Structure 1
Amino acid sequence: MRSSDVHVVLTPSWYPDRSRPHNGSFFRDQARMLQRGGMRVGVIALEPVSFWQARRELTADVEEGIVVVRGTVPTIPKGALPGDRMAARAVAARAVRLYEETIRSLPEPSGSGGAQAAPDVVHAHSVFTGIHVGRYAAEHWGAGLAITEHRPSSTDRSVHGWRYRALRRDLRHAGGRAVVSTPFAEALRDYWRLGEWRSIALPVNDDVFDVSRPADQDRQGDNARALTVCHVSHLGRNKRPEETIRAVARLARADLAAGREPTRLLLVGGEDHEIEALRELARAEGIEQTSTFTGRVPHDEVSGLMAASDVFVLASEVEAGGTVLAEAQALGLACVATPTWAGRFMVEPETGLVLPAEAQADDDALVAALTEALTQVTDAIRAGGYCPETIRARARRRFGEETFVKACRELYEQACGEISGSAGSTQ
């Protein structure tokens, strides 16, 4: 299967829009990567919501050459009764028609095989409700069906419930199944009992690898500049920003005791009320003057802020894929991460440290483990280790667009092979 021959429609369970530009922005990035890789790409993004939040309206936009149909799917609270699948398929039927109408209204792209050519493969993202929408679309078009799971919570629902059974009914027809980290793949294999899942690392836009960094030689020797530890997130409790602040404060005090410039802290993201509480904690820990809180910033400015740092910390309690860990490495930052699925998959010995399992025991254990890991990493940087260009080169091989598009093409070949090798049952 050549990329230029493929027409793929993504069915993510959430997707950015004008009012929520950061909501699933990585799905939009991935769609554009596939497009740059030579594929024809469309998106049908139907978000599951409660019945009273659902709206009948569907919209269709053309965004940088990608047709995006948006809408909502009304769902049963907690899957207490059957009906989610039927509702998703009903909305999917209207969304597919709107997608086809929009495609027909576009000028025929040269060499595309015709603007009205049906998709070859449907790629669902997250089972609820992406797999229901994707299964309907794949049936309608006679296309292959692939799925990538992103949410750790997808394994929380009871295997005896209505929702699990409905999802598994459609999931078993996905010829290609992928997930964003190897430990997560093992969990899904055991949970769904449908065989193996392949791991496809969350990718990074190629232009991130070209973002300039400060000179690295000034990180070494007796007159080395102060190092900066960075964290980027919405600063919710799952990311443990409080423990990160406490650990950096301990590190800064140790730096001062050793006669060095204290390590600095950069926190990117968060709302005003979250930032104020964290700023107060930094003040109490004595690092207010060496800490920077940016608040929410435009997506395209984040890379520049991160690139001016030396170490990235992701102390999440739960993390499935960890796109931000890939972005940090693409910018040349050494990483320190908790032993989540993402941490264990994304961070290798040559690119950083993963904390031991005991670090997740309680808050104090996490602070102690973070402090120790940050001390090791910053000492290694001052000694010439964790070379940014070496980290970036490894990141490009693992997380670059070419690697991602190749992995998706193999997934789509598997999905299309499954549909052609069977009767494509719609039962």
Structure 2
Amino acid sequence: MNILIIPSWYSTKDNPTNGSFFREQAHALKEGGNNVIVAFVEVRLFSKINKKERVEVIDDNGVKTYRIIQGKFPKTGNVGTAIAFRQGLKKIYREIIKSEKIDTVHLHSCIWGGIGGAYMAKKLKVPFVITEHSSYYGRFKVNFIESQLIKYTLKKSDKVISVSSYLKGIVSKYYKDDIIIIPNMVDCNEFLSQKVNTKNTCDKFTFLSLCYLKKNKGVDILIKAFSKYFNDENVELIVAGDGPERVNLEKLAVELGVSDKVKFKGALSRSEVKKEMSNCNVFALASRFETFGVVLIEALASGKPVISTRNGGANDIVNDFNGILVEVDNIDELGEKMYYMYKNYNNYDSYRIRKDCINKYSKEVIIKELSQIYNDINSKELVNKEIY
């Protein structure tokens, strides 16, 4: 199968890990025997583009990637970005048709790449699949024009996928046909921990939280809960990631007297993420809103129990034997459950946690589900062509 993947956000020079799960899925599809091509438009203000826009073609370890930097006008918001994205894809289309055969277009998220993805599928005359990931629908007020673009894109699709049941409920406001749930994947072999066991043998008990440090991630609540319930114990909290709230969070740790117990690691490479997951005891996520929660399944793949807020995406992931869910912004409930996990850590079976993760989120499982969708819609397309 020849699959063209269009991610609404992707790695850039300024943000090399952006959209890393899109890239990992593209490579997993290739490993599954498909020919995978990526088309991405990096949208910037016209004033921040120094050279003439042109399509670059990059060989990303066997995944051919078409990229272009496309300008947009200031103060045009998401609509301006969507229009610019479409303009960039028009230019990529003119290059793709010279040498590529495409069977299916798979768009990731409507919010920016939507109308461009629909354009590409129409021009190529192939089925159009959409996977929705974006938290924009739930966190912000979608204006009238944005809602029309979203509805238009979804209507043009042959299959719509949501990464969680919570997000499915939100997307269903814009799309009344069937929406199926296929979660994000994790390469479980990459997160094989050297400490997958049922006993706590660490000198210091470690909670790990990994996220982009912005207000929505609730790291302030996590630090407050930690400081209230872990004053004297030999326990530490590792906060990995960077972002606009880092300075405020570091000040908060000082004010609460836990700066010696709360360690900020900054942005991590993928290899560093795996190492931190392997070394921690429990993974904690205090987000106020998530459409999924890739970091949670990465922790589970490492055999680690998790504690998370009921933030939407986590609701599908956390169960009775792999962790605990707590209410958003509830400092005491979060602190009490963290303390419970600290005292009862040996009751969590790392092997069972990891096995359950493999059965639900491994790349082999997810690629099999996606491949079935591609085959089904292409078979349907072929039948329709024969009829008409």
1:144-168 residue CA offsets vs partner (Å, 9 max, x unmatched): 1100111121364547x23322332
Question: Counterpart of 1:401?
Answer: 363
1:7-406 equivalences under 5 Å are 7-50=2-45, 52=47, 56-74=53-71, 88-101=85-98, 104=99, 116=100, 118-154=101-137, 156=140, 158=142, 161-189=144-172, 191-213=173-195, 216-219=198-201, 225-253=203-231, 256=232, 261-270=233-242, 274-356=245-327, 359-360=328-329, 366-381=330-345, 384-406=346-368
1:349-405 residue CA offsets vs partner (Å, 9 max, x unmatched): 21111113xx44xxxxx2112112212222221xx3111111111111111011110
1:91-114 residue CA offsets vs partner (Å, 9 max, x unmatched): 32210222344xx4xxxxxxxxxx
Question: Counterpart of 1:107?
Answer: none
> Counterparts of 2:227 and 2:15 in 1: how far apart (Å)?
34
- Is 1:411 the counterpart of 2:383 in the alignment? no
Amino acid at match of 1:69: Y
Paired residue secondary structure (2:11): coil
Larger mean Cα displacement after TM superposition, 319-328 or 56-65: 56-65
> Counterparts of 2:256 and 2:24 in 1: how far apart (Å)?
38
8 Å Cα contact 2:86/2:113 also seen in 1 = no
Larger mean Cα displacement after TM superposition, 387-396 or 280-289: 280-289
> Counterparts of 2:216 and 2:356 in 1: how far apart (Å)?
28
Paired residue secondary structure (2:265): strand
Between the two proteins, what is the percent identity of the paired residues? Answer: 23
Amino acid at match of 2:230: A
User: CA 1:197 to 1:53, structure 2 compared with 1: closer, same or farther past 3 Å?
Assistant: farther
1:14-60 residue CA offsets vs partner (Å, 9 max, x unmatched): 11033321111111111111111111101001244555557733222
Structure number with bigger Rg:
1
Question: Counterpart of 1:363?
Answer: none
8 Å Cα contact 1:145/1:416 also seen in 2 = no
Paired residue secondary structure (2:92): helix
> Counterparts of 1:121 and 1:422 in 2: how far apart (Å)?
15
Kindly tell me the number of residue pairs found equivalent between the two proteins.
383
Instruction: Give the drift of 1:278.
Output: 2.9
8 Å Cα contact 2:289/2:311 also seen in 1 = yes
8 Å Cα contact 1:13/1:48 also seen in 2 = no
Unaligned runs of 5+ in 1: 1-5, 105-115, 361-365
Amino acid at match of 1:332: G
TM (norm. structure 1) is 0.81
User: CA 1:73 to 1:181, structure 2 compared with 1: closer, same or farther past 3 Å?
Assistant: farther
User: CA 1:52 to 1:86, structure 2 compared with 1: closer, same or farther past 3 Å?
Assistant: same
Paired residue secondary structure (2:234): coil
8 Å Cα contact 2:82/2:113 also seen in 1 = no
RMSD: 2.7
User: CA 1:417 to 1:52, structure 2 compared with 1: closer, same or farther past 3 Å?
Assistant: farther
Larger mean Cα displacement after TM superposition, 277-286 or 309-318: 277-286
> Counterparts of 2:200 and 2:141 in 1: how far apart (Å)?
51
Amino acid at match of 2:267: R
Paired residue secondary structure (1:289): coil
TM (norm. structure 2) is 0.89
User: CA 1:158 to 1:236, structure 2 compared with 1: closer, same or farther past 3 Å?
Assistant: closer
> Counterparts of 1:374 and 1:280 in 2: how far apart (Å)?
22
Instruction: Give the drift of 1:266.
Output: 0.9
User: CA 1:99 to 1:300, structure 2 compared with 1: closer, same or farther past 3 Å?
Assistant: farther
8 Å Cα contact 2:5/2:37 also seen in 1 = yes
Instruction: Give the drift of 1:123.
Output: 0.3
Unaligned runs of 5+ in 2: none
> Counterparts of 1:84 and 1:297 in 2: how far apart (Å)?
29
Instruction: Give the drift of 1:408.
Output: 1.1
User: CA 1:225 to 1:347, structure 2 compared with 1: closer, same or farther past 3 Å?
Assistant: same
Amino acid at match of 1:349: D
User: CA 1:208 to 1:215, structure 2 compared with 1: closer, same or farther past 3 Å?
Assistant: same
Paired residue secondary structure (1:62): strand
Paired residue secondary structure (1:35): helix
> Counterparts of 2:261 and 2:11 in 1: how far apart (Å)?
34
